């Protein structure tokens, strides 16, 4: 087992996520400064005042250097994008080429996360030898390949559509979310995973509904291990049970709208604003905050809630009167 005392962490953004990266990394460092070794930021942003100021702010406040890595977008210009997904989503598949070779393990975090507690848990994880399973079909069989897991992630229960996964060539129903990944970069390099990623991104292009996440699941099928769900809490806005912030460490805002949108209704949306107040973006006002949305998403729900309460009270009163008649 490789022993590491500190974590290397990497983010990947474009110009639209500078603020959200600042909030995410602030939440990370507020709770984990002592166990963070280096922070890498992969981006395609040149000479941007906001980015420069954000990096300076983090460097000065936490006395930790953000290693800024520029990404050439021509490498992914032919990859599929749509909706609010940009080419920046694919930057994580190039980690072996972008990060120094002496970085053998890294924690990748999306910038739409809030780290609201200690993540020392990742330092205890070990990529144990896999003697039971063969390498995925996309990887060419070689006798000298060490059979070990390549990453830790969490199952994405919301994307396990069996027909869609079958269409991607996946044999089983297991599918991981790529927003929080603990990666064995040494294994990725030794097995030339980058070329497999690029091949799949081009070969399956129009079938990639979830873009780079689909790419990674195709290449690394059966070659990843499960992390505790509290380190990538997804889909909480759809939960029917009572949820407590104490049960979760990394909150991942996977769905649209995001917490920085006024229309967002995630139960832990407030965490984003708690940590943004610790950054230079503390005076941020959501762009979709207007009279129409205020009326639609705040006033109408409150009025309807009041109507329901009054109706229930009236029903109780009527029942009591009927009971007295008898």
Query: How many helices (H) does the chain have, and how many strands (E)?
Result: 10, 9
Per-residue pLDDT at 307: 67
Domain co-membership, 68 together with 199:
yes
Residue 199 domain-assigned (yes or no): yes
C-alpha to C-alpha distance for 4 and 35, rounded to whole angstroms:
10
Per DSSP, which regions of 116-190 are E strands?
A: 151-155, 176-184
Q: Which structure tokens are listed for 207?
A: 């079938």
Q: What percent of the chain has pLDDT over 90?
A: 60
| pLDDT tens-digit readout, 137-179 | 445 444 444 457 899 999 986 655 777 888 888 887 789 999 9
* Confidence class for position 134, pLDDT limits 50, 70, 90: very low
Helices 269-276 and 18-32: crossing angle, nearest 10°? 80
The verdict on residue 266 lying in a domain is: no
For residue 261, being part of any structural domain is answered with no
- Is residue 68 one of the residues assigned to a domain? yes
Do 21 and 142 have their domain in common?
yes
| Nearest-10 Cα torsion for 149, 155, 159, 160 | 80
Q: Phi first, then psi: what are they for 309, rounded to 5°?
A: -65, -45
Residue 231 has pLDDT above 90, yes or no: yes
Residues spanned by the domain of 315? 290-326
Same domain, 184 and 86: yes
Total of domains in the chain = 2
Residue 217: Cβ within 10 Å count: 25
Integer angstrom CA distances of residue 303 from 75, 228, 262, 288, 307: 52, 40, 19, 21, 6
CATH number at residue 81: 3.90.550.10
Averaging pLDDT over each range in 4-8, 142-146, 292-296, which range is the top one? Answer: 4-8
pTM recorded for the entire structure: 0.85
| 139 & 204 share domain | yes
Both 163 and 296 in one domain: the answer is: no
Residues 326 and 224 placed together within one structural domain of the fold: no
In a domain, 131, yes or no: yes
Domain assignment present for 283: no
Q: Which pLDDT score is estimated for 172?
A: 75
List, for residues 55-111, the tens digit of each pLDDT value: 999 999 999 999 999 999 888 888 988 866 788 889 999 999 999 999 999 999 999
């Amino acid at each position: 087992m490789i022993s590491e005392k500190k974590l290397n962490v990497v983010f990947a953004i474009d110009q639209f996520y500078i603020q959200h990266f600042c909030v995410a990394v602030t939440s990370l460092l507020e709770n984990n400064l002592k166990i963070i070794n280096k922070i890498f930021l992969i981006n395609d942003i040149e000479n941007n005042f906001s980015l420069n100021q954000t990096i300076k702010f983090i460097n000065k406040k936490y006395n930790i250097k953000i290693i800024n890595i520029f990404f050439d977008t021509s490498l992914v210009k032919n990859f599929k994008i749509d909706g609010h997904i940009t080419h920046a989503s694919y930057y994580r598949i190039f980690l072996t080429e972008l990060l120094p070779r002496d970085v053998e393990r890294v924690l990748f975090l999306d910038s739409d996360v809030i780290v609201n507690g200690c993540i020392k848990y990742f330092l205890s994880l070990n990529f144990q030898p896999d003697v039971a399973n063969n390498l995925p079909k996309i990887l060419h069989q070689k006798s000298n390949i060490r059979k070990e897991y390549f990453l830790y992630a969490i199952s994405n229960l919301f994307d396990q559509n069996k027909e869609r996964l079958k269409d991607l060539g996946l044999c089983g129903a297991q599918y991981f979310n790529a927003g929080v990944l603990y990666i064995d970069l040494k294994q990725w390099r030794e097995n030339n995973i980058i070329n497999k990623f690029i091949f799949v991104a081009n070969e399956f292009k129009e079938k990639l509904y979830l873009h780079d996440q689909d790419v990674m699941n195709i290449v690394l099928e059966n070659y990843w291990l499960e992390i505790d769900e509290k380190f990538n809490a997804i889909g909480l806005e759809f939960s029917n049970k009572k949820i407590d912030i104490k049960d979760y460490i990394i909150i991942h805002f996977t769905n649209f709208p995001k917490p920085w949108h006024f229309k967002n209704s995630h139960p832990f949306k407030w965490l984003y604003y708690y940590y943004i107040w610790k950054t230079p973006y503390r005076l941020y006002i959501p762009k979709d905050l207007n009279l129409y949305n205020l009326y639609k998403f705040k006033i109408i729900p409150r009025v309807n809630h009041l109507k329901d309460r009054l109706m229930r009270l009236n029903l109780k009163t009527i029942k009591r009167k009927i009971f007295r008649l008898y």
